[in-house]
Amino acid sequence: MKVIAIIPARYESSRFPGKPLVDLHGKSMIERVCEQVSQASSISEFIVATDDDRIYRHCDNAKLPVIMTSVEHRSGTERVAEVAAGLDADIVVNVQGDEPFLDPGHLDVLIKHFTDDQIQIATLKSRISDRSEIDNPNVVKVVCDQCDQALYFSRSVIPFSRDNGEAVVFRHHGIYAYRRDVISDLVILKSTPLERAEKLEQLRWMEHGFKILVAEVDGVSLAIDTPEDLDRALQYLKR
């Protein structure tokens, strides 16, 4: 299979403008994301997708493959779909541009499931042990059936332990892989009630009948969403 990773990168983030270009000990965040992706054995090539001249010029100067996309896109998925439409690929991976410490092995775990022709979309999960993360609505949780197909994603705690017994809670990792012809179908779907309630676009896909395989991995990488996250990332690099 030919697998291409697309890394959407926006400059105008509401919580952290310009974060793809922030310096992480001599390299920009987008450079570090690309480095991690390039180490995954399952990835044939990668491309940065942006709508910003500053990010485009930076990537071009750093010899990173980059494509300018429309400024009209409402999500990273739409940006990925625009680029994917012009690619010769079997599988497209949507890698978040704010994951400079992404484990390349997690991408390989994700891709290996596409040897099953029935898989349309795949993503990742890991177990949560920290109670503060379980209660944090910014940490998306997922529950699956016995075949690892997603049943529901939520910002609330799922499953709810009625009798205070032990319940394993899984965190969703915001990385998706799709068959190339599937992603073009996803971006034309109409918005749905559950998606609007939770502000999670994957619920739109499920409400329209798409199935999502969720593979389990160990650990979660440090994403950079805010300036405070950047401080933690710099401390991590020092260590």
Q: What is the pLDDT of residues 25-70, one digit of tens each?
A: 899 999 999 999 999 999 999 999 999 999 999 999 999 999 999 9
Structure confidence by residue, pLDDT tens digits, 150-204? 999 999 999 998 887 778 999 999 999 999 999 999 999 999 999 999 999 999 9
- For the chain, give the mean pLDDT: 93
User: Any long-range contacts for 160-165 (C-beta under 8 Å, 24+ apart)?
Assistant: none
Enter the pTM of the model: 0.93
pLDDT score for 205: 98
pLDDT band at 15 (very low <50, low <70, confident <90, very high): confident
Closest CA relative to residue 43, chosen from 5, 88, 80 = 5
Dihedral in degrees, nearest 10, Cα atoms 19, 185, 153, 112: -80
Q: Which domains does the chain have, with CATH numbers?
A: 3-233 (3.90.550.10)
